[in-house]
Amino acid sequence: MIDHFSVLLQPSAAGKEQKLNGYQLYGCLLEMLPSETAEWLHENSRTPISQNIIACPAENGFLWEINVFEEDLAAEISEALVKTKEFYAQKADILLKINRVDLQSIKNFSDIRSRSAALMEKKNIRLNFLTATALKQNGEFLLFPDMELILKNLWNSWNTIFPETPFDDKDALRLLVRGTYITSYHLSSSIYRMKGNNIRGFYGNIIIGSRLSEPMKELLYALLVLSEYSGTGVKTTLGMGKTAIQLS
């Protein structure tokens, strides 16, 4: 299951918000939760959360997206967000007011399938990377997206989020990788700073094409829809890898 929280944040002072990133807000989220829950998340090697923050100029604020893949944790986060009217992001030295909290729930494969069905008639899909995104291979961060690594990353995310309907056919994954490719791109390199480290990555967009049978194309589009909630690549819990589909 996925509970997708969209939280509209209003900064108290102009200018300081440029220092905000998802790494800082994850720390703020932990402070809102009960101490035992925060400790569990801190110690868990695979945290059931992805989250990020992007500017929302239309509402003079920022959109903080929190995707939760565990039911009890989602309930705790929902309660914390409802109770919290404002909070202080210490590392950015800024007070943030919570103006609105919206919730979308995705319970199973059928919910994903209903969204991915709208993509089936499209020849190409634009995948936008809206926060710094990084893929890792042989211990090194890549400066360019690799379709095989993206698909394997989303495949693993699917099996973690929806263990009751896993994708466990490795031959299908090989066919998917073989038949999916990047046709064009518009990317910039990026540096994401956290814990005193600089993680190299990229942001921008790629156009994805495919030569796949209808069942395999349905699988591809289900994974791409999932990317909007799971994020793409590494450190999605800490604000990296925000991904959005755009039809082209």
Domains of the chain plus CATH, in order, are 2-106 (3.30.70.1890), 109-247 (3.30.70.1900)
Q: What six digits make up the tokens of 245?
A: 């589909």
Locus of tokens 């829950």: 37
What Å distances lie between residue 93 and 18, 86, 155, 165, 226, CA to CA? 11, 13, 38, 43, 33
- Phi and psi, residue 190, nearest 5°: -150, 160
Question: In this predicted structure, what is the pLDDT of residue 14?
Answer: 64
What stretches in the chain show pLDDT beneath 50? none
Question: In this predicted structure, what is the pLDDT of residue 197?
Answer: 87
pLDDT tens-digit series, residues 45-85? 789 999 999 999 888 899 999 999 999 999 999 999 999 99
pTM of the shown model: 0.94
Question: In this predicted structure, what is the pLDDT of residue 17?
Answer: 59
Question: In this predicted structure, what is the pLDDT of residue 82?
Answer: 95
Question: In this predicted structure, what is the pLDDT of residue 179?
Answer: 97
Question: In this predicted structure, what is the pLDDT of residue 18?
Answer: 63
Question: In this predicted structure, what is the pLDDT of residue 44?
Answer: 83
Chain centre to alpha carbon of residue 122 = 23
State the Cα–Cα distance between residues 43 and 106, nearest whole angstrom.
Answer: 26
Mean pLDDT, the chain, rounded, equals 92
